[in-house]
Amino acid sequence: MNKNLKKLGALALCGLIAACSPTPKTSVIADINYDKDWQFFRSEKVLDLASAQAQTQWQTIAIPHTPKIEPLIVNDQFQGDAWYKKIITPEPAWKGKHVSVKFEAAMNVAEVWLNGEKLTTHLGGYLPFSVNLTEKLVWDAPNELIVRLDNRDNPITGPKPLHDLDFNTYGGIYRHVYLQIDNDLHISDPVAAGKIASGGIFVRYPSVSQTEATINIQTHLVNKNQKSKQFRVEQELLDGDQKVATQSSAQQTIDGSIDAESTIELIVKNPRLWSPKTPNLYHLVTRVYDGESLVDEKTNRIGIREFKWVEGQLYINGEKTFLRGVNRHQEYPYIGYATSDEADYRDAVKIKSAGFDYVRLSHYPHSPAFMAAADELGLVLLNSILGWQYFSEDPAFQAQIQQTCRDLIRRDRNHASVMAWECSLNESWMSEAFIDSLTTIIKQEYPGALSAGWQEYGYDIYLQARQHRLEHYKTPAKPYIVSEYGDWEYYAMNAGLNQSAWANLLQADRSSRQLLSDGEIRLLQQASNIQEAHNDNFNTPAFADGYWVMFDYNRGYAPDLESSGIMSIDRLPKYSYYFYQSQRSPDEVSEKFASGPMVFIASEWTQHSPLNVRVFSNTDEVELLLNGKVIAKQKPDVNPNTTNLKHPPFTFTIPAFEVGELKAIGYRSGKAVAEYSVTTPGAVEKMNLTIDTSGKAPVAGVKDTVFVYAHLQDKNGNRVHSNGIPVKFSVTGSAKLISPTSVTTAAGIATALVEIGDSLTDIQVTAEADKLPTSTLQIK
């Protein structure tokens, strides 16, 4: 038997970042990871199957995969055919089982053939789909599976054509592929089952309190045998290795070639509740018995929690909660969406480390790996369908969007992190009838769940960007989120929807769109804009806000990066990152992300630096010293843009520049609890290489991608912020360089993107720059 059969469905699908329960028995069901040993080629022309099979340019690749390694700034993203091929050789252990292939996501229109016979066409590039192979497999010979993907503009799936879109959609089979091996009697796939408020395992919490919680677990079973079966379902809740609760159903009958539901409730005494501050998770193990034989078993990571709104305000487990949040695009430089689970986890850690507790998944479904990371770290999510400034009266388009809403809920409904469902076409006019259809779907698929949309009509939660609020605000009569803020209103002052019009642009130094390389004056301006807007959001009854955006990203219609991120596209922090970090309470401490008391000096401290030095801290007082001499010890700033902030910045006025060290010390109740220093740099003398781990070390064998940073330093190791210095990277061992060989520095840092191979034992990254010693780094 293939050794991969030892990994059963729930274990494989929970991803490498998820701490799943022990592996179930191998005789039950298997999800084989099918990421390796694919063949690929791409074509800008539309090809038929025969023409594709005749191609001689097939390359061996692994999933996740992007059809083209793009430049850092994507001016002409590949659109066309992406062809994939894999040989499936059935094993004796599969005899009598049911075999299907599951794609977590593939962009955008997929056609699938097995041995030359077309099996399906699937529309939509962000959600999973499965193809049943059972009746079509040749059991005693290799089988050729071929997938054609078309990522060209599509009026049925939307959104806008790429040339007018504000983000890139990329392409390829960019998330995992699994071969699913099922017994006759098995738990269905929640998306493939196509059942309203059903399919797979559906977990809800009818009552939640600190002393007792009820967990309702609905399991959908299918019987592919023509004969009826006697079955029972067992639910077991684990807290680590400790059994918390267990319950088994009575013996039931399921007729041949039909489905059935089993519902069990577990009572949990003194539950450890999930919240952004305490993201406690349990493992729910679901077992299905055919008579006395165990025939299926799946494990879900769940969090017991209650989201409730009272007079427009959010209460999580009875505690009133304001969610400070951010929007995220999921792209990486060069590889687009084709990120590893580990890369998605690192993104989640960065978001949490920045002081956020909420993420709007704009403007499409994000990966299961990121969702699982949010569960683990305590990030509340607003889950979104694909949509941006595009609507069509075409019934096929509307049916596609409606089905996407259903599939999104079926995929993600068990995640503790999901607060509400944005089945809304962002910044797109929608008819009231169409809105009604989407909100009805949400209520059908998840009774009691809340909808969210950018139009106030119809939705439970009203999403309004601050740019729209400036000219169109009225006090909302329902729960309200400032969905986006801090960018557009400081960029183009028309407060409108047509971003490509660029009406009445502000001067560049007033914008929030500032690259890491734009220098401290402009990065401080971005931080000022953010502070002003975030402070202003508290003048509304919003229970959450979401800054636009976490990471700089590529835009389909513009030949530059959208640079309003608080981190660069290479995941390097700007000053604004530390403003947000300072807004988190110093009492919140975690080993999984940056937390606790902090202080940061937003200055390079050179002769060109402002003498009004801004310090971000979540402490009560900050003392600033220059070369050991106290400049001042003071409380936070008080001005109209700080009135609503938990922890306003500290601004110190220094009489004159002096070469040396600036040190900030943060105090709580008179005790020093945090410090940070910056030193005037000298000439560049060397480089120091570091690797971004962000809570997750590099992993071999899964196409993990990691950032390696070359920091310019003076002879004493102080960072030098020079821009445009060429740095040449090279990699040896089981890894390859994804980014160009030569890149230039931004704020004194050159960034390489490295893909980890099948081993971590011999990887070395080398960086070279003119007149500087060569620097090396071993990746372990």
pLDDT at residue number 508 = 86
Identify the three-state secondary structure at position 351: helix
Least confident of 121-130, 340-349, 494-503: 494-503
What pLDDT score was predicted for residue 440?
Answer: 98
Q: How far apart are CA 659 and CA 677, in angstroms?
A: 13
- Which region among 1-15, 301-315, 602-616, 707-721 has the lowest average model confidence (pLDDT)? 1-15
Closest CA to 334 of 19, 2, 609, 571: 571
Name residue, tokens 């000022």: 528
Of 5-9, 329-333, 715-719, the least confident: 5-9
Instruction: Choose among 169, 174, 172: nearest CA to 153.
Output: 169
- The strands making up 480-482's β-sheet, listed across from edge to edge, are 418-422, 380-384, 358-360, 323-327, 544-547, 480-482, 461-464, 452-453
pLDDT in tens, 11-56: 333 332 333 333 334 344 688 999 999 999 999 999 999 999 999 9
Q: What are phi and psi of 444, to 5 degrees?
A: -70, -45
Q: What is the pLDDT of residue 414?
A: 98
pTM given for the model: 0.95
Alpha carbon of 415 to those of 21, 228, 668, 780: distances in Å? 16, 33, 37, 32
| pLDDT (0 to 100) of residue 21 | 36
pLDDT confidence band for 6 (50 / 70 / 90)? very low
Enumerate the β-bridge partners of residue 282.
Answer: 302
Residue 14 has a pLDDT of 36
Over residues 477-524, the pLDDT tens digits come to 999 999 999 999 998 766 555 555 556 667 788 999 999 999 999 999
Mean pLDDT of the region 601-616: 98
Report residue 5's pLDDT band, with 50, 70 and 90 as the boundaries: very low
First to last CA, the chain: 32
Q: Nearest 5°: CA angle at 221, between 220 and 226?
A: 150
* Length in residues, the chain: 780
- Map tokens 């999933």 to a residue: 63
Phi, psi of 94 (to 5 degrees): -85, -10
Q: Mean pLDDT lowest for which of 125-134, 394-403, 406-415, 499-508? A: 499-508
- Asked whether the beta carbons of 586 and 619 are under 8 A apart, the reply is yes
What is the structure's pLDDT at 549? 98
- Residue-level pLDDT at 15: 33
Strand 480-482 and strand 544-547: the pairing is parallel
Class of the domain covering 599-679: mainly beta
Backbone angles phi and psi of 555, in degrees to 5: -120, 135
- Distance, in Å, from the CA atom of 132 to the CA atom of 144, rounded to the nearest integer, reads 14
Q: What is the pLDDT of residues 62-107, one digit of tens each?
A: 999 999 999 999 989 999 999 999 999 999 999 999 999 999 999 9
pLDDT at 518: 97
- The residue ranking higher by pLDDT, 6 or 259, is 259
**3-state helix, strand and coil shares in percent for the chain, rounded to the nearest 5:** 15, 35, 50
Residue 335, pLDDT above cutoff 50: yes
Note if the bond before 363 is cis, omega within 30 degrees. yes
Is the pLDDT confidence value at 8 over 50?
no
Edge to edge, the sheet with strand 307-310 lists 307-310, 313-316, 319-320
Indicate the residue type of 64.
Answer: P
Q: What is the pLDDT of residue 556?
A: 84
For residue range 430-475, what is the model confidence (pLDDT) as tens digits? 999 999 999 999 999 999 999 999 999 999 999 999 999 988 889 9
- The CATH homologous superfamily to which domain 3-183 belongs is Galactose-binding domain-like (2.60.120.260)
Dump pLDDT digits (tens) for 174-231: 999 999 999 999 999 999 999 999 999 999 999 999 999 999 999 999 999 999 999 9
Over range 236-242, report the average pLDDT: 97
Task: Could you please state the CATH topology (level 3) that the domain comprising 686-779 is classified under.
Answer: Immunoglobulin-like (2.60.40)
Q: Specify the pLDDT at position 557.
A: 83
**Segments of the chain assigned to CATH 2.60.40.10:** 201-302, 599-679, 686-779
The pLDDT, as a whole number, for residue 767 is 98
The pLDDT tens digits of the residues spanning 667-677 come to 999 999 999 99
| Sheet-wide strand order for 726-732 | 742-744, 726-732, 763-768, 775-779
Residue position matching structure tokens 């004796």: 92
Task: Return residue ranges of the chain for CATH 2.60.120.260.
Answer: 3-183
- Based on DSSP, count helices (H) and strands (E) in the chain, helices before strands: 9, 47
Q: Between 500 and 540, where is the model more confident? A: 540
Bond before 159 cis per omega within 30 degrees: yes
What's the whole-number average pLDDT of the chain? Answer: 94
Q: What is the CATH code of the structural domain delimited by 201-302?
A: 2.60.40.10
Structure tokens given for 433: 């009838």
Angle at 134 between CA 37 and CA 203, to 5 degrees: 90
pLDDT, mean of residues 544-572: 95
pLDDT for res 620: 97
DSSP class of residue 249 equals: P
402 and 438 Cβ atoms separated by less than 8 Å: yes
What pLDDT does 23 receive? 38
- The pLDDT of residue 321 is above 60: yes
